[in-house]
A and B are shown apart, each in its own frame.
Chain A
Amino acid sequence: NAGVTQTPKFQVLKTGQSMTLQCAQDMNHNSMYWYRQDPGMGLRLIYYSASEGTTDKGEVPNGYNVSRLNKREFSLRLESAAPSQTSVYFCASSDGRQKETQYFGPGTRLLVL
């Protein structure tokens, strides 16, 4: 049972490059989330998707775009990466009836030079 998977595990980008972080869940969850974790900080919400076809901004959405491709997949795109986006990115999902209980993927470590 894979749960929430994320690719890649680690990525190095140069300033100005673009990339897409992929997330998939196999638990048939309606809601999916993207968070970032910076050193000495807890996780902060970037974007979320309450259901297929909908997305909403979280606390720190600037510099990111998201796509809820289908019920399983929720991607995060950096159009023009900046050093301030160096972080660990976590995807999470939750059931529509218990949105508060979120299950996390293993994270993607992103380094922007």
Chain B
Amino acid sequence: AQTVTQSQPEMSVQEAETVTLSCTYDTSESDYYLFWYKQPPSRQMILVIRQEAYKQQNATENRFSVNFQKAAKSFSLKISDSQLGDAAMYFCAFYSGGGADGLTFGKGTHLIIQP
């Protein structure tokens, strides 16, 4: 079974600064996908960014980028120019398609943006 670990229960950053959220995972699969989801107070799960394991290039979406280290099984999220609207819970998630056909989530990191 896969596991996803987010070691930072809470992070705080000043508005306009850069913050990095950590995620590590454990799997024996070679082909898989990794995701970061944002969950604001509304509880809606919003897909932030998606990475395919066979692609060496790190995914980027505007101010959001990842550092994917396949050998180290590490998948961190960098948020540049942090904005007040970025305040939320962030969940790292894993999908391989083998076995149960769903996402495996970490416990989340609560991101606070200081004005």
Name A's B-contacting residues (CB within 8 A): 31, 33, 35, 40-45, 48, 50, 56-59, 88, 90, 92, 99-104, 106-107, 109
Size of interface on B: residues with Cβ below 8 Å to A: 22
Smallest Cβ-Cβ distance to B6: which chain A residue: A42
Binds A, one of B42-50, B57-65, B70-78, B79-87: B42-50
B interface residues (Cβ-Cβ under 8 A, vs A): 4, 33, 35, 42-45, 47, 50, 91, 93, 95, 97, 100-108
Describe B's contact surface by its main secondary structure.
Answer: loop
Q: Determine the chain B residues whose CB is within 8 A of the CB of A42 once the complex forms.
A: 4, 91, 93, 104-108
Chain A residues, Cβ within 8 Å of B91: 42-43
Instruction: Establish whether residues A100 and B43, one from each chain, have CB atoms under 8 Å apart when the complex forms.
Output: no
Which of A100, A106, A107 is in CB contact (< 8 Å) with B33?
A100
Check A45/B103 contact, CB under 8 A, given A88-B43, A100-B33, A101-B47.
yes
Known: A42-B4, A42-B106, A100-B95. A48 touches B101 (CB 8 A): yes
